[in-house]
Structure formats: structure tokens, C-alpha cells
Amino acid sequence: MLKLKRAQPVRLQSRNMVQLHATFSFSNSPKFSGSSPKRPRFSPTSSGLSPKRHRFGVAYLRANLLGTNLTFNCKANGGELDPLPHLQTLGTFPREELAAKVVLVRFDSALLLHEHVEQHRFQSDAVLTIKYLCQSGARVVLASDWSVKTNPKLCVAQSVADFLSSLVDYKVAPVQCISNLASKVEGFEKGDIVLLENLSEFRGEVANCSKFAQVLSSGVDIFVNDYFSRSHKMLASTCGVARFCYGNLAGFHFEKSLSQLRRAAETDTKPYVAIIGGGNLSDKAAALHSLASICDGLVFVGMMSFQIIHALGISVPLNFLEHGALKEALDIVQVAHDRNVQILYPKDFWCKNDSLPKQLEIFPAHGIPDGWVPIDIGPVSLVEINSMLTKCKKVTWIGPVKFRMSNCTKGASILAQMLNQLSQSNCSVTVVGSMACEAMVKESNSVSHLTMIENASVVWEFLKGRKLPGVMALDRAYPFDIDWIAAYSDPAQPLVVDIGSGNGMFLFGMAKIRKDLNFLGLEMNKKLVQPCLDSVHQSGIRNGYFIATNATSTFRSIISSYPGKLVLVSIQCPNPDFSEPEHRWSMLQRSLVEAISDLLTANGKVFLQSDIETVSVRMKEQFHKYGKGKLTVLHEQSYVVTNGGWLKENPFGVRSDWERHVLDRGAPMYRLMLRKSNSSERSDCS
């Protein structure tokens, strides 16, 4: 990896401090280790121009950025387990950009198509997503799967469309064939809504088939995911389509659910106890390890409690144990023991005997007779649980209080009553899973003060430390307010942004000779960013800074908060990803081009260059196509242009590391300068 050494003094040969595009050159440049530089991975990684996704959350930023001079104020805290990324949401996306756009919405049929949808507590946010898009002038395409289990009255697309029409107060029309979507889109009017066929009928949906995803997204500009309950699954309608849309946003319901999961993951409130129900310990072992490592107490109230009892050396009937789960149970007990985490398990059970169907008996956990099976936790256990919970400031209940199918269990109701009381006395309560949520709703007049997540599978996967595919497919957002005063000595100075700044050679050179400008490098590779931040601190540079981020998703939110004008954006030598031809289209995404075009000041410039001509041509085409007519090629008399129309020399005289390497081997660079015309010039052209 290239490491930046302290910059050497530079000798200016010529300078023009008035024109931003003035030519600079110097004889001594910063030295870098290594015989020849590696090609910068402009995976906007470097900037977000590569299709490779990057996850960074609060823990990462704390570890890598908060030790520097720049101060960040976090808007939301991530969990300490595996921080959830902050996403570009529908609410934060520029509303005016939705007008006339074709927007694909993946909605949750369990929320919107349920027979008693008006009683569903999460329904309003899902409806709001669709209404908001229509009111914004978007042309909406709805996609989902449904079955008679969700609503027996809804079997065909037409009946679903009619049901949705009454729900959202807009006419919804079904599309007979998904493959005809592109032709349907052409005739769309603002505010139109169409419903695609039932996705459950297509194998490509569950298989996340790329071809099927491409058909689903034909003619679509923006994808909005509002299907949080299956965000742990890789589906064509939640993951695959994100590859073919220039903007991928979280809907209002998705955003709220993710926020709830993020709050549930916070561990700054102590004492923190997790109540764990259900069974199948082997599958959830990794999640239980995570809980044991962050909680102060674990309370087992489901079938897996027998595994824990057995691991603690207490005799239990073998037929209550899960085959092959002893090692995992022993490991969890050991982790809890090492951290001095209290483990609470049921001491008694209500039990039932098939030979005596009307009779229930209470037996101690270690003394359940043959023929009797547990159906609920007993009164002694509930008293013990209540005693522990009254001391807690945070409780998470995940999984049902259930052992065998029975309608006469009361443990869940009593537990819900306990948690309801706790939530009203300065205790943060999170309830996870449909059965647990249902119990809380029955025992509480209002659940607005509770964090409730109906789908437990998503939470279990998150606790296992796994990335949620449906979340990772969405665009990243920058979750911080930047203290520009701490970053620059004069934050009112015009700003230059280098997207994919790599090891910072270009910005360091520019910052030294243009004290009248501020320079910001956006680079996704944190291993490159941290040495640059260290060098800024060591050299005392007060007009240069670097941020580790995916510029495709965060450029607008970062730069729009800057107090001065954006006068130049440079994109140099992006990695074309020729090894992945199918991804080459996303080298420079539409959302980034539009953000640059919008935020650049009048007469501001965009500098593009690459040592691969097809890459430079591609960038030029993208800015021409998505620049909204604001950006045109700049022709200056001082510029020497090749026969191909490229700038022969770097107009700044400051070369990036890769540019220097290319020129040293005698290869050409393909450069272009664009200028943003002012409004009067654009009106004249029109």
C-alpha cells in the first residue's frame, strides 16, 4: 500500500492565482514508497463509482476518524455488534428529483394486503411511501408477492390493484405481463400507479436472478425498498434490481424499521437483559454469543432453555434436548461466565399429559415425569424473572414463550404485563417477533413507547453478525454533521473536491499552492484516508481534508452543508472494472453526476481524466446525459487540445500518483474540462 511521506518543499515555475484552471508545475513533489504506484481503485470505493458496496457505520467512524482534528456530530448511533449502515432514504432524497421519474416500490404484502390492514400498526408508513411518491409527481410501479394466507379475497392482480386503490386513494392498474413493463412506462403520466404480477409466481425472484431483476427494473429510474421484513433474504425485487437503478432508497416503513433495529442494538443503557424464547439453539448460536457479549443478563423462556439447563449440568429429559446442540450451549454458558453475565432459566413449568388432556400440573425443571411435556413457564420462574427485570434499564424480548402448541398458556401475557410496566418507568423495551408483539399489544393500551419489530428472522440474522442483503443493496448515506470550522481555517473559501482521492497526492500538491481554496478528498478506502488525515495533522495544512465515504451516495449530503461555493470537482483515473464487464455501467452513476451538476457554482468546473480512452469517453457521455444541460466542454485558448479533442496537458500542473506513473511510461492521458454555464446562458441556448 502506498504511504504518504511528509511533503517536500515545492518550487513554483509558474502560477496564475486568479483563474482556477491556471497551470501549475513544480520540480519536487511528495515522495511515495514503492517502485511504481498501484492503479488507484476508484471504487469510488474511492468514490462510489465502482459497483462494489462498502459498509461503514458509527463504530468504524469512531475508530478511524474521531481521533483527528475534525469533529463529527452523530445523528444516530449504530450498534456495537455489527453497525448498520446509514442509508439514502426517500425522505432525504431531493423531492423535486422524483417528478416524472419512474419509481419501483417493493412493498410488504403482509402490511398492505392483510385482511385487517386497517388494524396493522405499521401500515401507515407503508401507505405513506406510495402516497408521497404520487404527490411528488413520480410514476410508480408497485411490486410484491401475495397469497390467500395474507388475504383470501385477493387472488389475482386485479383484485389486489382494486384493494390498493382504496388504500392509497390513487388508481392502481395491474400490468398483465412484467416483460411489457418498459412499453407501459413510456405511456406513464405523473401520478400513475401500476401493479406488477405476483412475484411469487416467478422462480427468478427467490433466486435473485440477474436477468429477471433486469426485466423488473426495465425503464425504472429509482428503486424504493419498503420490504424490511425480508431484508435478510436475497431477492431479485430487493437486491437484484438495485444494480439497474441509478438511485436505491429506503421507503418510510423500511427506514422506521431500520431505526428500530438500530435502537435495539444500542448497548449504552445498563443493566441490559435479553429475554430469549423459541427453540433451535444451533441455528441461533452465533446470535446468542453476541447477546452474551453485550448483555448483563440472559433470560431463557423457550424450548432452548432446556439446552442451557443441560449445559449447566442439570439433568433434563433427553427428549427435550436438541440433537447436536450441546457444544454450542456450553460455549454460550462459558462466554456468559467469563463476562459475569447472569443466566436465568425456568425453574418450573406448567406441563401437560396427552393421556390427561384436561389436566395441567406444575413440575420443577429437573423433575418432569415421563409422559408429561412443558407447555409454559411456571409461577416461580415468572416471579424470578420479574425480580431481575425490575432492576433493568433496557430489555429486549425476542422469541415466543412457548414449548408445545397450546391455547392455555399465560406466561407470555404475564411477561408482557411486566414489560409494559417497566416501559412506563424509564426502561427501554424492545419486543421482537410476531407472537411477542401480539402479546404486548393485548396487554398495553398503547405501544408507541415501545420498540417493536415483528419479524424476528431479520433480528436473529443481524445478531449473528451477518449483513442484511436488502439493506446493503441500498445507497449509503452520510450520517454526520461536519464541523467545517474545525476542518478548515476559513470554511468560507471556495471548495475543490477530488472524488476518489486515493493517497492524496493531487490534493496535497494543490493545497500547498492554492491557499485561497479549500480542498476535500472523498475516498472510500479507509486505509488510504487515514494516512492522509495523519499527514494533514502533521504538516499543519489548514485548507485540506479527507473523508472516508462512498461519494455516489454521500456527495450531495456532504457538499450541500459546506458554507462556501463548490468551484471544482475532479474525477481522475477511475477503475473501469474490466474484470466485471456486467458492472462496468455503474462506473459513474447518475446520482453522483446530478449532484455535482446541481451543487457546482456557476462557471464552476469538472476535471475528468483517465489513461483509458473508453473510460474518459464514458465519463464525458455520463455528464452530457445526466448533467441536465448545465455542463459543457470548456475551450480555453491556453488549452492545447489533441486531435481526439482531449487536453494535451494537465491544466493544474499537479499530477496524481497514477498520472505520473502513466506519463513516466510514455502512455497518454485523456483529459477533459467541463464548465457549468449560468442560468442566462442556458436560457439563451434554449
- Could you give the CA distance from residue 228 to residue 458 in angstroms, rounded to a whole number? 8
Q: What is the pLDDT of residue 115?
A: 67
pLDDT in tens, 111-165: 888 766 555 556 789 999 999 999 999 999 999 999 878 787 887 889 999 999 9
- Could you give the CA distance from residue 404 to residue 373 in angstroms, rounded to a whole number? 8
Are 432 and 412 within 8 A, CB to CB? no
Q: What is the pLDDT of residue 584?
A: 41
- Could you give the CA distance from residue 111 to residue 122 in angstroms, rounded to a whole number? 7
Q: Which residues of 393-427 are buried (b: 16+ CB within 10 A; e: fewer)?
A: bbbbbbbbbbbeeeeebebbebbbbbbbbbbeeeb
CATH topology of domain 268-447: Rossmann fold (3.40.50)
Domains 268-447 and 484-676 in one fold = yes
Task: State phi, psi for 541 to the nearest 5 degrees.
Answer: -65, 130
Q: Which CATH superfamily is domain 90-260 in?
A: Phosphoglycerate kinase, N-terminal domain (3.40.50.1260)
> Residue ranges of the domains in the chain?
90-260, 268-447, 484-676
Q: Consecutive sets of 10 residues in the chain, 686 residues long: mean pLDDT of each?
A: 32 32 32 42 37 32 33 34 76 90 94 69 85 95 89 85 92 85 69 90 95 92 96 96 92 94 88 95 95 95 93 90 93 95 95 87 92 93 95 94 72 94 91 91 82 92 93 87 93 96 94 96 92 94 94 89 97 73 58 93 96 92 92 84 90 92 94 86 50
Q: What is the pLDDT of residue 119?
A: 53
In sequence order, what are the beta bridge partners of 344? 299
Task: State phi, psi for 486 to the nearest 5 degrees.
Answer: -75, -25
H runs (alpha helix) in 295-391:
305-311, 326-338, 379-389
Q: CA separation (Å) from 631 to 246, 560, 587, 593?
A: 19, 19, 19, 10
Task: State phi, psi for 318 to the nearest 5 degrees.
Answer: -60, -30
Q: Identify the CATH assignment for 484-676 out of 3.30.1330.10, 3.90.1150.110, 3.40.50.150, 3.40.718.10.
A: 3.40.50.150
Extract the runs of DSSP E, i.e. beta strands, from 255-294.
272-276
Single pTM value for the model:
0.80
Q: What is the pLDDT of residue 640?
A: 86
Site of grid cell 439453539:
281
pLDDT in tens, 579-599: 554 444 456 888 899 999 999
Are 322 and 279 within 8 A, CB to CB? yes
Task: State phi, psi for 113 to the nearest 5 degrees.
Answer: -110, 5
- Could you give the CA distance from residue 546 to residue 464 in angstroms, rounded to a whole number? 33
Q: What is the pLDDT of residue 57?
A: 33
Q: What is the pLDDT of residue 651?
A: 93
Q: What is the pLDDT of residue 445?
A: 76
* CA 269 from centroid of its chain's CA atoms: 24
- Could you give the CA distance from residue 242 to residue 222 in angstroms, rounded to a whole number? 9
